Amino acid sequence: DGTDYKAVPRRARNLIINGDCQVSQRGTSEASVWGSPSAYGAWPDRFRFERASGAESGRATVSQDTTGPTGFGYCLKVLETTTDSSPSSGDYYRFTYRVEARDIQHLAYGNAAARALTLSFYVFCNLTGAFTVTLGAPDGARTYSTTYTVAAADTWERHTITIPGDTSGTINNDAGIGFEIGWMLGAGSTYTGGTQGSWAATANNMLGAGSTNNVLGSASGDWRITGVQLEVGEVATAFEHLTYAEELNACERYYEREDFTAGTDQQIMSGFGWSTTETAFGTWPYRVEKRAAPTVTYSAPGTFDILYTGPSEIAVSAITAQAISTKGHRVFATVGSASLTAGSGNLLRRDGTDTSFMTMEAEL
């Protein structure tokens, strides 16, 4: 009938959140990475550095950098600052990304209809040669290990890897780790030499199998990544760009930071005197429901004060989270002297000269 039916762009092809590195809630740079236990840090959200033994001597500064390839405003950058030219057998350096299990039930792992995936990403590195990338499915203790090759140093290149569906795998339908993608940057002999190119029982020697490089092995070793996409099928499509608001909203299921920076004595929330030294405030609602009841952290107690009857103000000596759920928590504050009145109304505020914040973390 002459109707022009236009194609509607598919949304949510990408199983990776913040694959273009534009959200970085914890900060934009952190030094001496790999000097502490595996963790998330002041670089793009959802990416996690990992080490093995804890004896690793190499160090790097990791940052959210603005030197991405054309069409990308940001990348995650690893820059060596302390060299480990020959990692001990039990050491390794890598970055990982974890996918929540309930988000990948449609892949039908453990079934004859298990679906193939394509992983694509852009890498810039000052080294050439082979690097290991793995896709692990920890519920079934299964891993697929392969390599990508940097052909030209100091050049952004897109790498594409097709991964068959695992008909023998298991992915629980829960809020745990469904997949863990790992990019190895340097490894000792315990983590090299394993099976590649097919799904197999997870073994340490698969994590760095086939790699010929060590980013922390020479001065100013430089590795950057962005445009990470994991999608169903055997073809890599163009990276699915989402808005900052969409990416931030998705990241906040796992980590949310609230900075109170509106000004001196910014009012945060109201409450009532629990006793002469304690105040209970209402429930702080999260912007996004968390994956699990989060770990709640506040800035130092002295960065908050309480406005009470008079009006008068008093510094907070302790602040804690109570009744923590996936949707919010109650704020409970203590002051150092018996200045409050039980049952009276109070206001929790940012201290007049300090920056106050709270974080809620429910990472995988």
- CATH number for the region 255-361 comes to 2.60.40
> Token digits for 250?
């998705």
pLDDT given for residue 9 in this prediction = 42
pLDDT, tens digit, 9 for 90 and up, residues 327-344: 999 999 999 999 999 999
Give the mean pLDDT of 235-248. 98
d(CA 143, CA 87): 23
The topology (CATH level 3) of 29-251 is Jelly Rolls (2.60.120)
pLDDT given for residue 252 in this prediction = 99
What amino acid is encoded at 329 in this protein? H
Is 248 strand, coil or helix? helix
- CA 21, 22, 28: angle at the middle one, nearest 5? 85
Place of tokens 């952290």: 297
pLDDT given for residue 189 in this prediction = 97
pLDDT tier at 6, thresholds 50, 70, 90: very low
Can you give the residue ranges of every domain in the chain? 29-251, 255-361
d(CA 98, CA 116): 18
Q: What is the residue-averaged pLDDT of the chain?
A: 95
Place of tokens 């996918």: 99
The reported pTM is: 0.94
pLDDT given for residue 11 in this prediction = 53
pLDDT, tens digit, 9 for 90 and up, residues 136-193: 999 999 999 999 999 999 999 999 999 999 999 999 999 999 999 999 999 999 999 9
Give the mean pLDDT of 73-90. 98
- Contact indicator for 64, 44 with CB cutoff of 8 Å: yes
Q: Would you say the C-alpha torsion 201, 203, 362, 253 has a positive or negative sign? A: negative
Phi then psi dihedrals of residue 248, to 5 deg = -60, -45
Give the mean pLDDT of 16-20. 99
pLDDT tier at 235, thresholds 50, 70, 90: very high
Query: In this predicted model, which residue has the larger pLDDT, 53 or 45?
Result: 45
pLDDT given for residue 196 in this prediction = 98
- Contact indicator for 142, 83 with CB cutoff of 8 Å: no
pLDDT tier at 277, thresholds 50, 70, 90: very high
